[in-house]
Structure 1
């Protein structure tokens, strides 16, 4: 297997074995079978299921998740039960399993609906075969297309983990802290790069698209590619460079002249969305779109009404494409870059567009700073607004419910939180645990977000809507679920920087005016915000506010 291209396998067994295998998403192999494989299968390989006589045909396929040694005393296959001994020592397990028939269908239905083989017919004499001939691979792909086209196909999103953990010598459902979301791809990267990638993973799990911004030559595009490879695989993304001439035709699609009239051509977003759906169905992994130099395009014109669909919560509506219902998968993301030195084209992003992205600075390594946080000062109840404490509790409840609902969104094997391992967790319990762990003194992180947002709103710096607070809370929870041992006040700081501070760009004209005409009122409001950020231990937030006051721009 090379890169992210999955190998194709054909496995053969009796109907009674396949009934059990389909129902539980598992298959067994003897030592003799394993010795013929060569290299072991790898996660993401596609296995096609052939049923021997009297069926004599392919009934479905599954995506390989892993393999483990079965305990000697666990006799689960009919042949093992009959002989009273363990025969199939290796247990393979699959996700995204699809079959023409259900495991309990009568034999006649299996025989009637199975797909006979022509090019691959000589392979069915072996129990396990890695398929290498192109004509055989193409024939099996046609089998998959046939299964996928059936509306009543039997589906199994994940294997029976309860069964697997009972029969395998080593349990496969890892504890939270043992799940490695970073993989091997980052082993040779610097500590600075790894820390940024961890933040990006939290943003995308929280449902956000991402913009890397900074001066030229700081590695923004490389970082975008690295993140996409980590989540989607080596060929799980496309890279496009924005330009000022982009329109709806380039992004969504449109008609062009053809031999007989006109024909529809998909734009870059539509193509990426379709590929994402296809990869989810085939391999259980998403496909993402990288847009380089995002701020060079007129985004309102290019994306039009489709930009609402960049928000995960609104992906229950299809793209406007003639004759098709193309839904944006919950796990689809745009990862973009922005050159802040390109002054003539800078800040062309509208408010609504900015809301759908998390902004992550990628500065020169010559000024890289590690923000470790500091002990927050005393924060009094008056900073929340004592007379409005009951109102704050009601808003916290609204935020909690919104976070849980949005992060639980899924459609089959398509998860808003991107990773299956996270989708299988109890989101509400994770949130309550996170609120207990990420605190500033007596206040949980929702209290801290509310204090800062209320102050910014009350000072008429910028009105912070509850949607930004929900986004910030999702980010904090996502990071906690990914990396539970690496949380603290600094995480709330990062949430404020990514989701709230970009909105302050719209206060910059008033601050410029204050500098020119010596209107102290605006400067005093700004300094009060800096003071509260410092009290709360939001070191990075306070520092960026001070820097913004000096250079009169937020990003």
Structure 2
């Protein structure tokens, strides 16, 4: 069925004039006595809210209809959403309302608006759903169909995304001091760990934070590292609200540079002048001129070239203020330490609160990447290892362990399925030393197998495909991966011939030579 709901249009307000216009004509609104003499449009209220664009973007503006939404962007964040009430091309009104326009380029394409809602959604989330390569809008432009679908899938509807409950007024954030943190095991209660592992994990993280360290969670794939980081940050934001205002998650890539982390210059929509655009880290400290403290989770940090991606942040993470080679309003951008700061940050200043932390995850399959980090970088981190559980040697123990997890996950599986998955788990984790997979991948195998017919041959085929889909991706680039494949292929619970053939195509291994 074709989507016929509201569209979404991205409206940046990057430079100082645009910021002033946004506050004056969108947030505050304009008295009707100022607007009425210049238009034939009638209004129901005494205050008119409106936004405008240059004629050069009329092709985008002309597609805006009543019921659509504008989402306003600044400094890496979509700060507000507002429903469109109507549009009008009116040069006389545009010149009257926005006299600070670029020379000979007045805002004549008018959009009349309802009351805005503050949403504070990181642009990387919206643009990631849309499949964009960049996290900032290139002028006034529509969000593509993929982005519309992504927002509907995540929030339920565009209306829910744009008109959800407004964030409460943020309290003044404590930046000078860091609280003594105690993260209880209950903070990660959504995850299942045997024995006292939850207590050990939360205790290590608490100790690291209180020691002033940032945290790298390392361990085999599928052990819940990213979820642990997320739940810990949720706990910090909910229980230490005087210090934390939320958190953000991002995934590192090989293409990362300091533009993604620190920021850099981008052309402004209005006059084309270059404006400083803060990166992922700086956006955690300030949004729309307001001090923030949002821990940042960097998933798979080892995928980035650390030197290229973090650059000047080495100095910051080592506990020193840093001056960046960029300017805002004629003054060099500075990142200062909260413990030494008094007052309110100016436009060119960012303040890293004393309690701010960077959380990162890293698969131990890739642990050799640790040696590519400089000592100055590594010494600011505590490394907390999240291990996979030991898989028993006997089939009865393997079946029992998988059954224990299946109960927690509320997955229905018969004894034969539990046994088969347990055998695969044991084979995978014992083929090569220190090459394990965690429970999350076992959950994927079980969920896949749950849909299989109950006859043994069908189960073998489905489990074989599941191993290819969920286990093989964890083996890419892993030394001696052929031995792991051969061990699984020889268990008898999968189609060994098909598994070996798939390994040759996907993992590019010659099992006889690589095993």
TM-score of the pair, normalised by structure 2: 0.34
TM-score of the pair, normalised by structure 1: 0.31
More helix by share: 1
